[in-house]
Amino acid sequence: MAKLYFYFAAMNAGKSTTLLQASFNYVERGMATMLWTAAIDDRANKAIASRIGLSADANRYDASTNLHDRIEEAHKASPVACVLVDEAQFLTAEQVWQLARVADEVGIPVLCYGLRTDFQGQLFEGSAVLLGIADALIELKAVCHCGRKATMNLRVDESGNAVKVGEQTEIGGNDRYVALCRRHFSQALSA
């Protein structure tokens, strides 16, 4: 029975690297994978890219993409062994349920990778639904500068100061976000 998995972590925990390794494992054994990433994140062009230099081409989704239909159509044309979704926090609630149907009805395992919370400690829509309905929740570990597990994503400005207000989604890497433990996240926001 295929399952819906949610691999979540703070920034810089290796989510994309882990996704690309999982895809490689399937492909190495002669099985096709279907990779997806959010269209809103255009930093890597049409690819999923990790900070350690691994990358692979991927389909792009936005809020209007019917993932179930697109995946089922591709699977009918040529069997897909596994679907892997990067930046899963940007999925809509409806898309998460579509991915659940891919696992439940089409019979393809779906591995989603994303952030749990935003820069204010609030759940993203896609992450909230995944936390609620995924068959398996796997936390990947990031490390705070103090050595503790980083679970929060602090948004910073050009000078490295904490940003306390703004839109939930602002694309960026190490120049805009710092992974911190909850204690250091709270201290940075209260400064």
| Catalytic site positions | 87
SS (H, E, C) the chain: CCCEEEEECCCCCCHHHHHHHHHHHHHHCCCCEEEEEECCCCCCCCEEECCCCCEEECEEECCCCCHHHHHHHHHHHCCCCEEEECCHHHCCHHHHHHHHHHHHHHCCCEEEEECCECCCCCECHHHHHHHHHCCEEEECCEECCCCCEECEEEEECCCCCECCCCCCCCCCCCCCEEEECHHHHHHHHHC
